[in-house]
Amino acid sequence: MFQNVGEMVILFWSTLLALPATWRQRQKVSDQFFEIGNASLLMVCILSFFIGGVIALQTGPLLVERGLGSYVGGVVGFSICKELAPVMMSILIAGRIGSAMAAEIGSMRVYQEIDALRTMNISPIHYLVLPRLVAIALALPLLVTFAILVGWLGGALVCVANDHIAISFAAFFSALRDTVNVQDVANGVFKSFAFALIIATVSCHQGLITRGGPRGIGRSVTKAVVNSIVLIVFSDYLLTRILLK
Amino acid sequence: MTSTPSHPGGVSVRVRGLRKAFAGQDVLAGLDFDVQPGEIFVIMGPSGSGKTVLLKHLIGLEEPDAGEILIAGKPVRSPEVMSQYRMAMVFQSGALLNSLTVGENVGLYLAEHRLKSPEEIARIVTEKLEVVGLKGTEERMPSDLSGGMKKRVAIARALVIEPQLILYDEPTSELDPLSSVVIAEEIVNLKQRIQVTSLVVSHDRDLAFGVADRIAVINKGRILTIGTPDEVRRNPDPLVEQFLHASFKRL
């Protein structure tokens, strides 16, 4: 385990050192960026809409019963932007995009495509890891911003439509504006940026160390997703502690 | 392996005391041999004798447990070799990048190192594909090609580098006799055209005796014999004889 952690740190550091080459790899960054967007936007939309709705449904009646109806918008808005959108969307992207990264790089490793790159003096870090890391680091915060807005909308619609809550659209967003400030949203987006780096590093590392045939690729994909999720949840706690100060 | 060639023609290869073990089992058990610039040196041996592992060491993909490999007198993994000499390897499977078209695969080295304009790359790609008899396949994907075609595309990709040392890993495996002859001719043509040093790993006896200047026979990570094709044919070592004369007639 410690060897894996060490290798991931080295991979991440090597990729950071390769960042000046990003412009040269812009076409690949752009391809990856749109692939991530295309693959995830609809799922992000559906997931965040219903997360917002469920939070409103769970908290709304309780708060209204106690005469705290004016706080529903704040509770839903705050929990979505600071916690649920960044964590849930990152887990979704770890499953959808991290697995694809590990599978693609893993199969390239197994079928000697990475060896072929090395014999041509093409660094796998520049060619494979850098574009993926940059693309996901740009795409995930954007997806999370979008998820926050859709989640708020989902929460608001449930508050309007549900008889046990029955809060107007304007009242929901007025409460949300009073509770949630720009820094809260920025915190959530910043967290998603950190999670994006984790997903790319873990998934690319698992791909690069793949051994064996199709079974090895399957193992790498599973490890990439599970390790990414564990690290996302663990670093979420650390980041929350740091950002609360 | 480099983008800035500075020495024309082939390079010499010197291997001394090369050892490699995987999981405690010797794969290369102390190899010594020299390859002269511009020579076609064929390494023969049964499957599992360490031929591919040897090639990976020669191009710097593996690090030996002991011994040294010198390219033009310099250690293979040294920055000088990486920056001054061009080396290419044709993998047994072709190792084409499956997400790229044939044309993109062949032009990958030039495109990634920004050595030529896109128009020039397209021209060179067409030229090299024509050399291996695959003109017009630029837009096809590797998954649409047969095993033999993939291998020829891999050779075209190696040719683009204009290598001084080219390593072939089982270049005729999975090929029909006609394609094997085409590949063998290409190996010889390359030597005549650009004086490239060629190291061919194969258990194809026809290919070995057809193209080699010298042949080494290895078994269990050790060299049994090295010599010209005639010398190897006359070698009395029973293991060499057994390998060279194995035939279905015995069945």
User: At residue A1, does pLDDT exceed 60?
Assistant: yes
B234 Cβ under 8 Å from any chain A Cβ: no
Report yes or no on B218 lying in a domain.
Answer: yes
Contact B90, B166 (CB under 8 A): yes
Q: What pLDDT does residue B180 have?
A: 84
Contact A158, A58 (CB under 8 A): no
Report yes or no on B87 lying in a domain.
Answer: no
* A116–B97 C-beta distance less than 8 A: yes
Range name among A15-29, A189-203, B79-93, B151-165 with the lowest pLDDT average: B79-93
Report yes or no on B22 lying in a domain.
Answer: yes
Calpha distance A96→B136 (Å, rounded): 37
Report yes or no on B116 lying in a domain.
Answer: no
B1 Cβ under 8 Å from any chain A Cβ: yes
Calpha distance B17→B61 (Å, rounded): 18
User: At residue A46, does pLDDT exceed 90?
Assistant: yes
Phi-psi label, residue A202: left if phi above 0, alpha if psi -120 to 50, beta otherwise: alpha
Report yes or no on B215 lying in a domain.
Answer: yes
State ipTM: 0.83
Report yes or no on B171 lying in a domain.
Answer: no
Report yes or no on B101 lying in a domain.
Answer: no
What is the b/e burial string over A115-133, where b = at least 16 CB atoms within 10 angstroms of the residue's CB? bbbbbbbbebbbbbbbbbb
Q: Using CB atoms and an 8 Å cut-off, which of residues 11-50 of chain B contact chain A?
A: none
Q: Closest Cα of chain B to A26: distance in Å?
A: 12
Provide the domain limits for residue B34. Answer: 11-82+198-244
B61 Cβ under 8 Å from any chain A Cβ: yes
Calpha distance A49→A44 (Å, rounded): 8
* A122–B1 C-beta distance less than 8 A: no
Calpha distance B140→B153 (Å, rounded): 11
Interface test with B, best of A120, A123, A128, A130 (most B CBs within 10 A): A120
Report yes or no on B166 lying in a domain.
Answer: no
Mean pLDDT calculated for residue range A50-77: 91
Query: pLDDT tens per residue, chain B (251 residues)?
Result: 444 444 457 889 999 999 998 888 888 888 899 999 999 999 998 887 888 889 899 888 888 999 999 998 888 888 888 778 888 999 988 899 999 999 999 999 999 988 999 999 999 999 999 888 888 999 999 999 988 888 889 989 998 988 889 999 988 887 788 878 888 888 898 888 888 899 999 888 888 898 999 999 988 888 888 999 999 888 888 888 777 777 666 55
* A127–B1 C-beta distance less than 8 A: no
Q: Give me chain A's average pLDDT, please.
A: 93
Q: Which of A113, A119, A121 sits opposite B97 (nearest CB)?
A: A113
Q: Which of A104, A115, A120 sits opposite B108 (nearest CB)?
A: A120
Query: Per the structure, how many domains does chain B have?
Result: 1
Residue B68's CATH number = 3.40.50.300
| A163: Cα separation from own chain's centroid | 34
